[in-house]
Amino acid sequence: MDQATFIEQLAREGFQPPVLVERDALGRLEPHAHPFEARALVIQGELRIRSAAGERHYGVGDIFQLAAQETHSEVFGPTGVRYLAGRRPA
Q: What confidence tens digit (pLDDT) does each residue in 39-55 have?
A: 999 999 999 999 999 99
User: Which domain range does residue 62 map to?
Assistant: 3-89
CATH for 44: 2.60.120.10
Q: What is the chain's Cα-based Rg? A: 12
Question: Could you give the number of structural domains in the chain?
Answer: 1
* Single-letter code of the amino acid located at 31: P
The whole-model pTM stands at: 0.95
CA angle 70, 8, 90 (to 5 degrees): 25
CA distance 54 to 80: 21
Instruction: Give the percent of the chain with pLDDT over 90.
Output: 98
Section 12-39 average pLDDT: 97
